[in-house]
Structure 1
């Protein structure tokens, strides 16, 4: 038996913010006009309403799926509060009474949540698992900028988008047939949201995203593409064998670089970044939901996350 991704649902908040409006909202130091779209290729992103929490976005995605699950995992970079686990809040809103817990690993959170769900299914502990995410990074965008250096340090926040996603993982005769994960945790400080934990419990200035896009790109390149290329070598497959190759997307130049480096055909990619921004851990399910595939087709999920971590999962749908 295997564990199969049997259903997918996503939710995108109605409010849309284009890159020009993002730049207009920045106070203090004024960035060059058009720089966000020019540097990232992102035209617009989604923003949750003021009364929507991370749990609400997960609920909006998950409520369209059949509720007959014996475990629910909330797997997200965002959370409603430090305690309790946001999974309990999601479960209460969905009316679930099964065991629940959180999995958190930046933009790879949902991919790792699926990894955990697969392991628990293969062990016989569970048979049908809901893995969901609700991402609200818009709450951590720095809108008042002191100078150019602070704008550069805060730039990653201007690419991020709010979104929800949910997948059902269940026992089946076909499904996930390969997975591999790696990390270089020495690079954890390159991109952070410092506030809320024990290091900066009450520092308002630590409640915004900080990051160095150039150093992050270099860190991913240092690990190298081997984790993705080894997946092909070890399975004897090529990218042409997959109906969809879903890749975590942070900026169009880096997506083109990664696709060229790995040799991924353009017609296998589902490019969501320009119209939806970086949806954090909801990015991969968003691409699966919008991609063209049929039951029995193979799909590849390629994850990149702060910390830093990389992951690959190959599955037959």
Structure 2
């Protein structure tokens, strides 16, 4: 018995902010114009409406798992999407940040919003029943949450009308990857047969817009890459195909290099600690210290190469670092799905977004490469 990913869907809020918009919105300190896009390669990021919570973004993604017809598709939200799919070369400074080679997946222009569905999500189509309706467990796996108590999973389940057991899994940008890991383990144990794993990310609520000086701007810079989004994945028992390799590692001594410190017992009420802060250079150094072995060993242990995968999904925070990682791991460009320029850093929804945007069919292999604050790394290989 294996655990197979049978459906993937994501939700992207209609509203977008360009990197120029971000720079204009910052008060108290004037960064050099163009620096955000030049340093990150990000043109756009998504921003949830004020009345949308993390649970709402997860709910929108989950509902995208029930397509009215067969095949994968892109469902635009309102008139915000100019088109679906396709690829294009990052323009201007973003292309320079990417080394002039990587191509961005998604639509161009004013931005892309709505719900992406993978081809695999269509397997329950035509039944007249939501694909998630018979899930016997739901996991909310996200860096964001509606509130400290109760678990956001309960709020999502209430909005969806689910009555199965639920709980939260939280591990920064690796939350969804770890959620799928837990789902697989519970399926292999025989405890569950169909698990819904979902995420709702609202990091825009933790961006510091009033900046005191350059030092505080640098400390807050990682927040300007973040994007709101929702994601949903169905994991089901399958007698033949599914997840066939998974491995995880951590360097917890580096936990302080990227934090959102408010709301817990350390800073329970001080609003000054309600903003994301981090040291990008130290974070990159921490990941380099762990090294790429966890990813390369996955290939060695399975006897595969990256060419054996239809999609290699990699967590993306900045185009220069994605280019560096792709070169170190020798990942072919045509296997990568570059979501960052037009969708920003979607936190734990990044890997599902790339699966939804990527080109694969049932039976294809996909690779999920995760990096998250804490810090942690993870790799999962699956036959879809």
TM-score if structure 2 supplies the norm length? Answer: 0.82
- Partners of 2:135 and 2:297 in 1: CA distance: 34
Per-residue deviation, residues 167-218 of structure 1 (Å, max 9, x unmatched):
0000012000000000000000000000000000011110000000000000
How far residue 31 of structure 1 moved from its aligned partner, in angstroms, is 0.6
Alignment match of 1:211 (pick from 278, 292, 298): 278
- Partners of 1:100 and 1:29 in 2: CA distance: 44
- Partners of 2:336 and 2:64 in 1: CA distance: 26
- Other structure's SS at 1:90 match: helix
Give the equivalent residue in structure 2 for 1:278: 345
Give the equivalent residue in structure 2 for 1:101: 167
- Other structure's SS at 2:247 match: strand
- Partners of 2:201 and 2:64 in 1: CA distance: 18
Give the equivalent residue in structure 1 for 2:220: 154
- Other structure's SS at 2:60 match: helix
**Match runs of 1:14-93 below 5 Å:** 14-65=14-65, 66=131, 67-93=133-159
- The ranges of structure 1 where at least 4 consecutive aligned residues each deviate by more than 2 angstroms after the TM superposition are none
Aligned residues: 317
Per-residue deviation, residues 225-264 of structure 1 (Å, max 9, x unmatched):
0000000000000000000000000000000000000000
Give the equivalent residue in structure 1 for 2:195: 129
Give the equivalent residue in structure 1 for 2:331: 264
How far residue 64 of structure 1 moved from its aligned partner, in angstroms, is 2.6
Give the equivalent residue in structure 2 for 1:4: 4
- Partners of 2:64 and 2:322 in 1: CA distance: 31
How far residue 37 of structure 1 moved from its aligned partner, in angstroms, is 0.1
Whether 1:197 and 2:264 are equivalent positions in the alignment is yes
Per-residue deviation, residues 125-153 of structure 1 (Å, max 9, x unmatched):
00000000000000000000000000000
Give the equivalent residue in structure 1 for 2:317: 250
Give the equivalent residue in structure 2 for 1:315: 382
Give the equivalent residue in structure 2 for 1:293: 360
